Structure 1
Amino acid sequence: MVDDSRPSRRAGWSFWAFIGFMLVLMGPFVMLGIWQVERLGEKEQLIANVASRMTLAPEPLPPVGEWGAFDADAWNYRPVTAAGTFQPEQTVLVFTSLADQRGKYSGPGYWVMTPLELAAGGTVFINRGFVPEESAGAFAAGGTVAPGLVSLVGVARASEEINSFTPAPDTAKRIEWVRNTERLASLSGPVSQPVAPIYIDLPAMGDGILPQGGETIVSFPNNHLGYAITWFGFATLVPFLLFFWARRQRVPRLPKLPPKP
């Protein structure tokens, strides 16, 4: 009786090709794990940068003449000051669903985005805060704003990006879906040019007062550690799974019976 525990010849090259393929597959798993570790470091640095910016003293916006080279990301989340005149009749409502709110109101509603014509020229959109859906009508034309020249202190935010999935604005009702300064300027009507590539979030005016300011989101999803563990886990499992799979392939052949007389 011959016990041949080698892989059957029927498997041949495919047996070793499959093992080679799985071992090669470990490479991308490891690379993806390393990439997630790098992204984790970048995200933690971003969170630290934002936290430090929020504590800076407010600074005036750069002069309009410098907006051509304006680095919106460098100003994102920085306290800023601005002086100008509100244009309430050109207010745009941006749909949102507010969760983890700091104020009284949450749920479906709108950001009240009103252009501020700066005293030095140009326009910056001001996010005056959140209003619930049932109160939106009172703010569709801006609601009550301080008349004349006003001085504001708020938090600069980079213009939100749009993509192929971003719905078109409702031009009839002047409702938007993103706080993108170019689209806001197009929807609001003629505004003093140029338009700043950032908008400004205002602080809360008081408990229960609408619009509800002070809702700047300063937290970021940070799941990269979990993703890294997952990819490294896949890379670690490959050799163990291959070992047990290969053992199952090494099935002993049955002995040949002698021919009948």
Structure 2
Amino acid sequence: MTTTQRVAVVTGASSGIGEATARTLAEQGFHVIVVARRANLIAALAEEIGGTAVVADVTDPAAVAALADACDRVAGSINVLVNNAGGAKGLAPVSDADLEHWRWMWETNVLGTLRVTRALLPRLIASGDGLIVTVTSIAAFEIYDGGAGYTSAKHAQSALHRTLRGELLGKPVRLTEIAPGMVDTEFSLVRFDGDRERADAVYAGLTPLTAADIAEVIGFVASRPPHVDLDQIVIRPRDQASATRAHRQVP
């Protein structure tokens, strides 16, 4: 299959921000290659939006190489890459750090972004108007107790993305970092190993952002003309001032 549409690749597309972004970009006329580990979810999404599903774990070099090959079968170049795959595990202090949790967070957020970006970069340049959107977090420039594994990974992911901004200067590729605050997705459920009560407590008493809120902004970024680069966009709910300060209604 070869498409004549503009092509967007979205990682972590099986739910949350990734899924919402895939839908938004499809509505804008992109052929969206949806990438995630959960085959059934991305297959259903791809069928619904007229895109292509590629099952891949961004921590697996062979899977990322297969993703690049799959992109070549869909189109000769890629216009948009949304590095959305990532997440957090645990909330332990440094003294009790779970090294496997840290390893997973660095592999997924940092090295996963590196693998996918490096693999698809030639195709983005070849498009003549490429865009790399990396979804980091306010944890990319803030810290909080218990969050060192996640905040350090997001700081590194942001540094990787911002370094590319200079390295690609003069190339036809724009780079935008999206740094959300509280977004009600599966994020906290993953962080707390499926503990629904603990995950729900993160958003109790306030109105968090939704995945659609973030996807709408990514869609706006993707629709800007080639000379306009929205470098960094921080998005918080009104009820949140920082990673540690939020206004909560008392029941």
TM-score by length of 1: 0.21
Higher-Rg member (1/2): 1
Which structure: greater helix fraction? 2
The higher-RCO structure (CA 8 Å, 6+ apart) is: 1
